[in-house]
Amino acid sequence: MFHNRIILAAGVVCVGIALCSTSCGSRSSDYAAPESFIVDPDTGTYYISNVHPGRENNNGYITTLDKELNVLKHKFVEGGRDGVVLNDPKGMAIVGDTLWVADLTVVRAFNKTTGENTANVSLEGFGAIFLNDVAAGPDGVIFVSDTRKNAVFSIATTNDNAVSILAEGDKLNSPNGLYWDANEKLLYVACWDGGTILTINAEGTIGTFMVKPRQFAHLDGIDRDVDGTFFVSDYQKNVVYRITPDGQVRALPLTLKTPADISLDRANNRLLIPEFEANRITVFDLSENE
């Protein structure tokens, strides 16, 4: 029988299509264009958004895994079930007990334990086109990127989910991945175009962190560890870059296909990588590769 493989070797746990023993918790059918891969730091539960290609067909879903990467529920949240609409789930972030998910022009909220749909925040009135990543900011605020509109929105989850535009315009170079640095009070933005990583402050002022058009193609996900090292995925070049605090950029020793919205599991020093077109996930043990 063909299953997904979970292999811990040289610091890598790969979950992909291969032969494996019955101890494997995942199957090749568990993922359908996985786009975002995050962990709940409170429980250790992993969440993976599956676009299941075909926009606006309400067949997207979210898979949950336990700490050992065994599937808890293949379709923890599923478009078309229990009144849930989930067309194109991409970036995710957890604030308190709520899992926030970007879905085309709507940001949807689900109880992180039960999967109940608790809110749907439409950004259509703000001209949203293609919502992509979500990052938890200060005081219950979440930030949402819109790659095609060239905009980053903020949603005040503690103030009736009030929506505002944090920044917009061509300077954003098709914003994709988002990471909020609480110490610097800056939102870092991995851009799909221009080979750039930008910053946006709380007032919406756009700054430049790094420009490498010859090295970066289409950047997707971004996160940062406690030592200040960034990890950024390049969807087109099939790599994840490690960017050290002194600005050195190196590709991690991984064979990947279309790494999308990556994130860190800081408690276990793991890098979580969804591989969109490969229909698999990879978990990279950073403690073995420092």
DSSP code at position 125? G
Residues in the chain: 290
Which pLDDT band, with edges at 50, 70 and 90, does 14 fall under?
A: low
pLDDT at 12 over 60: no
Structural domain boundaries enclosing 152: 3-288
**pLDDT exceeds 90 at position 13:** no
Q: Specify whether the CB–CB gap between 263 and 38 falls below 8 A.
A: yes
pTM: 0.92
| Model confidence at 19: pLDDT above 60 | no
What average pLDDT does the segment 243-249 reach? Answer: 97
Q: What CATH number does residue 257 fall under?
A: 2.120.10.30
For residues 274 and 256, give the distance between their C-alpha atoms in angstroms, rounded to a whole number: 9
How many domains is the chain partitioned into structurally? 1
Mean pLDDT, to the nearest integer, of 131-157? 98
- Rounded CA separation 16/3 (Å): 8
173-202 tens-digit pLDDT: 999 999 999 999 999 999 999 999 999 999
Residue 231 to residue 57: CA distance in whole angstroms: 32
pLDDT confidence bin for 21, thresholds 50/70/90: very low
Residue 26 has what pLDDT? 58
Which three-class secondary structure state does DSSP give residue 288?
A: helix
Summarised one tens digit per residue, pLDDT across range 186-245 is 999 999 999 999 999 999 999 999 999 999 999 999 999 999 999 999 999 999 999 999
Predicted local distance difference test score (pLDDT) of residue 4 = 37
Of 9-13, 16-20, 50-54, 184-188, the least confident? 16-20
pLDDT band with cut points at 50, 70 and 90 for residue 103: very high
φ and ψ at residue 28, rounded to 5 degrees: -60, -20
Q: Comparing 9-13, 87-91, 107-111, 167-171, which segment has the lowest mean pLDDT?
A: 9-13
Q: Which of 39, 2, 35 is nearest to 21 (CA)?
A: 2
The string of pLDDT tens digits covering residues 54-79 is 667 899 999 999 999 999 999 999 99
